[in-house]
Amino acid sequence: MSLKPLIIDVVSDVVCPWCYIGKHRIEEALKLVPDVPVELNYRPFFLNPWVPREGISREQYLTTKFGSVEAYKGIAGRVVAAAEEEGLSYRPDKVARQPNTTDCHRLIHWAGQIGKAPEMKQRLMELYFRDGGDLTDTEVLVQAAADCGLNAAVVRKMLATEDDVALVSGQAQEAAEKGISGVPTYVFAQKYAVSGAQDPQMLAQAIRQVSSEVNAAAAE
């Protein structure tokens, strides 16, 4: 009898550095359990729902959220070091604009329709954390979508509409209503939630455990 795939919903935001690290860690965890079938879904979350759709300057954002640009430096240092341990690059000094991530989540949703959601999420995160890309710039988003195999002209047209804004906002709202306040949060089989960018070994253990539970229940 073949195993039923374990559904893992990863609730996260593209401008959350721990989500950037957490994405890498869940991917590493999956490599540790190659025999367990998993279906990974990326679900939207708004880390900063108060940021307007057009975005704000990074300075204004850091001052509003942390009190000052300086205050963030200590926090950033820890995250930069954690990212480096995963082989990821986070360059907070390069980020000039803080985006509202509604359009990013729309792109991930559209990329998911051609099976490219993880690639799209990765591309947006790299643009933001590594390259200091402006995710409020339509052309930056269109190029990122094209890099992941989406049709640039179609994406440009869709971004100019409100298509799927209600959908991604509704999904983010649903996560908040379920009590998810910190991201990344990994939801296993829609039953168990693990919060934070956990160690791949720990995630692999959880994947194995919940998968065997799900399959034992299915066999009854």
165-179 as b/e, with b when 16 or more CB fall inside 10 Å? eeebbebbeebeeee
For the cut 70, the answer to whether the pLDDT of residue 78 exceeds it is: yes
**What domains can you pick out in the chain, each with its CATH number?**
6-55+100-219 (3.40.30.10)
pLDDT digits (tens, 9 = 90+) for 18-28: 999 999 999 99
Instruction: Confirm if 198 and 10 have CB atoms less than 8 A apart.
Output: no
Enter the pTM of the model: 0.95
Instruction: Confirm if 9 and 186 have CB atoms less than 8 A apart.
Output: yes
- Triad 140, 146, 149: Cα angle to 5°: 150
Indicate the pLDDT class of residue 220, thresholds 50, 70 and 90: confident
Closest to 101 measured CA to CA, from 42, 182, 16: 16
CA-to-CA distance for 169 and 135, rounded, in angstroms? 18
CA-to-CA distance for 62 and 68, rounded, in angstroms? 6
Indicate the pLDDT class of residue 218, thresholds 50, 70 and 90: confident
Instruction: Confirm if 38 and 215 have CB atoms less than 8 A apart.
Output: no
Sequence-ordered alpha helix ranges (H) in the chain: 17-32, 58-66, 69-85, 102-112, 117-125, 138-147, 152-159, 165-177, 200-219
